[in-house]
Amino acid sequence: KYMTSDEIREAYLKFFETKGHKRLPSASLIPDDPQLMFTVAGMVPFKPIFWGKVDPIYPRVTTCQKCVRTNDIENVGRTPRHHTFFEMLGNFSFGDYFKKEAIAWAWEFVTKVLEMPEEKLWVTIYEYDDESFEIWKSIGVPEYKIIRMGKEDNFWGPAGPTGPCGPCSEIHYDTGIEVPVKDGGTPNPGNTDGRFIEIWNLVFTEFYQDEEGKLHPLPRKNIDTGAGLERISAMMQGVLWNFDTDLFKPIIDTIQNVLNVKYKEDPKKDVSIRVIADHVRAVTFMIGDGVLPSNEGRGYVLRRVLRRALRHGALLGAKEPFLYKIVDSVVKKMGHVYPEIVEKQSFVETIIKAEEQKFITNLSRGLELVQKIVSASGKISAEDAFKLYDTYGFPIDILRDIAQENNYELDEAGFEKYLQQQRERSRKAQGEVEFAQKTGYETLDLETVFVGYDTMESESTVLKIK
């Protein structure tokens, strides 16, 4: 059965309303949580409830949450199903229903509402979670299709040394087609770049992990589920690539017009088109939620994503600002669900255009320099990488892309060392400024003293908070 992304989103939220859930709007991409850079999953806004710090108003909630993850950025455009920005459908139970209902309803939604063919569906469980095994079996999933997986994949640890945690169970769709596996491994449920695609994760928060790592049953068990709208849309529309769904079509059409390129003519160009299509959504929503480009924290993530998109634009021949012209297609496609981007559209466009103008000269000069460097030595040394970062504002992602595309060597570890040294210099310089200010000796120019530094943190660790 064919369904549009709007129909799927609405069907999901309606379905869980009929199961007693309160439908809540998406929270901001900026979480009210110092541990997190962005909202990376549907459960993020409810973390205080899961942790028992706040009492829930509704025991059952369903949402479609906007999410940003940068841990998958290298995959974006190259795999059919990874994005920086995506929408996560979710249903949550705060000390109310548990595994039995969560599993049964997920199955009912997938097989009865979406009418996905049962023979295409597989599930994974945590290897010691016999309870889930029995539940899946009892609703009719054949035993051989219930795959037991280790801690790595199917157990959500606590954030830090102690806290709520528990096993999870995932639903995978067998596309029947071997999609190249990123790491060269064998495709199987659990390997999302192969033939099987993970569409839904059900997390059963049933334990509390203590200081010694021992698990204690929680008095109030919770359910946290997350299903990717883009992936489900692809399956429901009979396409392998999320980028071929109705969610991306108008955006890709606009990119083709603005940059005068054709999608699906040249695989290399297709990667660039998909990267731009992905990143324009991310930057639109980030700025829409109040993130501004800067050299640290969230602002630097935004800048990295934006500059990465601009580099791919350059690969497609863009010589002047273009990204801001694509924002309109994002707003037209998604504004009815997320009115904030309608309201902020012209602001978003202004910010993006300003960033583009600022970076455009450096980008072309920097790319020329890269060309010179690699034609001379065939690799990008730590010094060169740092120069490109420091003088031309090249985030390391861009160099990583270039290195990956052309099989150049890139000394990232060495680059990190330079970055570290620069941070120390800047800290020392800052100390001198403070000293100068304290002593009333203010001849130093702040502008020249504060060199940029970046404070990116890995989101994969952050994610495990689930």
Q: Which does 156 bind (CB under 5 to 8 A by kind): ligand ATP, Mg ion, none?
A: none
SS3 8: helix
Distance of closest approach, residue 230 Cβ to ligand ATP, in angstroms: 5
Residue labelled with tokens 């071929």: 244
Who contacts 311 (Cβ-Cβ below 8 Å, separation ≥6)?
363, 367, 398, 401
The string of DSSP letters for 68-86 reads: E-STTTTTBTTBTT--SEE
What DSSP designation does 116 have? -
Residues 165 and 139 sit within 8 Å (Cβ to Cβ): no
C-beta closer to Mg ion: residue 364 or 460: 460
Please list, in sequence order, all residues whose beta carbon lies within 8 angstroms of the beta carbon of residue 45, skipping any fewer than 6 positions away. Answer: 27, 31, 32, 39, 63, 65
Stretch that binds ligand ATP, among 28-36, 76-84, 177-185, 354-362 (CB under 6 A): 76-84
Query: Among positive and negative, which fits the CA dihedral 192, 194, 198, 199?
Result: positive
Site membership for ligand ATP, residue 133 (CB under 6 A): no
In angstroms, rounded to a whole number, what is the distance separating the alpha carbons of residues 159 and 153?
Answer: 16
x-marked contacts with Mg ion along 201-230 as a string, rule CB under 5 A: x-----------------------------
Among 12, 16, 86, 122, binds ligand ATP (CB under 6 A): 86
CA distance 57 to 54: 9
Q: Is 109 in the site for ligand ATP (CB under 6 A)?
A: no
Q: Which is nearer to Mg ion, 84 or 201 (CB)?
A: 201
- In angstroms, what is the minimal distance from the CB of 40 to Mg ion? 10
Pick from 114, 171, 124, 112: nearest CA to 149: 124
User: Least distance to Mg ion from the beta carbon of 178, Å?
Assistant: 18
Query: Smallest distance, Å, CB 12 to ligand ATP?
Result: 12
Which residue in the set 192, 209, 245, 284 belongs to the binding site for ligand ATP (CB under 6 A)?
A: 192
Window 144-203: residues binding Mg ion (CB under 5 A): 198, 201
Q: Which is nearer to ligand ATP, 201 or 254 (CB)?
A: 201
Residue matched to tokens 């890995």: 458
- Three-class secondary structure of residue 335 per DSSP: coil
324 touches 352 (CB < 8 A): yes
DSSP string, 393-456: ---HHHHHHHHHHHT-EE-HHHHHHHHHHHHHHHHHHHHHHHHHHHTT---S-HHHH-------
| Position 226 contacts ligand ATP (CB under 6 A) | yes
Q: Which is nearer to Mg ion, 164 or 321 (CB)?
A: 164
| Nearer of residues 29 and 261 to Mg ion, judged by Cβ | 29
Minimum Å gap between C-beta 40 and ligand ATP is 8
- Structure tokens, 414: 């060495």
Q: Counting contacts by CB under 5 A, is residue 272 touching Mg ion?
A: no
Considering only 205-213, 221-229, 356-364, 368-376, which stretch makes contact with ligand ATP by CB under 6 A? Answer: 221-229
Candidate residues 9, 21, 47, 82; the one interacting with ligand ATP per rule CB under 6 A: 82
Any bridge partners for residue 149, and if so which? 126
* Contact map string, positions 372 to 411, toward ligand ATP, x by CB under 6 A: ----------------------------------------
Stretch of 198-206, 318-326, 334-342, 416-424 contacting ligand ATP, by CB under 6 A: 198-206
Q: Which of 199, 309, 352, 367 binds ligand ATP (CB under 6 A)?
A: 199
Burial of 90 (0-12, 13-18, 19+ CB in 10 A): buried
Contact partner at residue 82 from Mg ion, ligand ATP, none, CB < 5 to 8 Å by partner kind: ligand ATP
The region of 109-117, 139-147, 225-233, 324-332 touching ligand ATP under the rule CB under 6 A is 225-233
* Residue whose C-beta lies closest to ligand ATP: 228
Query: Per the structure block, which two tokens stand in for 99?
Result: 């595994």
**Total interface residues for ligand ATP by CB under 6 A:** 18
Scored b (16 or more CB within 10 A) or e, 10-43 reads: ebbbebbeebebeebebbbbbbeeeebbbbbbbb
- Of residues 31-50, which lie at the interface with ligand ATP (CB under 6 A)? 41
Whose Cβ is closer to ligand ATP: residue 81's or residue 312's? Answer: 81
Q: How far is the CB of 261 from Mg ion (least distance, A)?
A: 29
Distance (Å) of CA 390 to CA 204, 404, 451: 46, 21, 9
Q: Which is nearer to ligand ATP, 69 or 99 (CB)?
A: 69
Chain residues binding ligand ATP by CB under 6 A are 41, 69, 72, 81-83, 86, 88, 192, 198-201, 226-228, 230-231
Q: What is the binding site for Mg ion (CB under 5 A)?
A: 198, 201
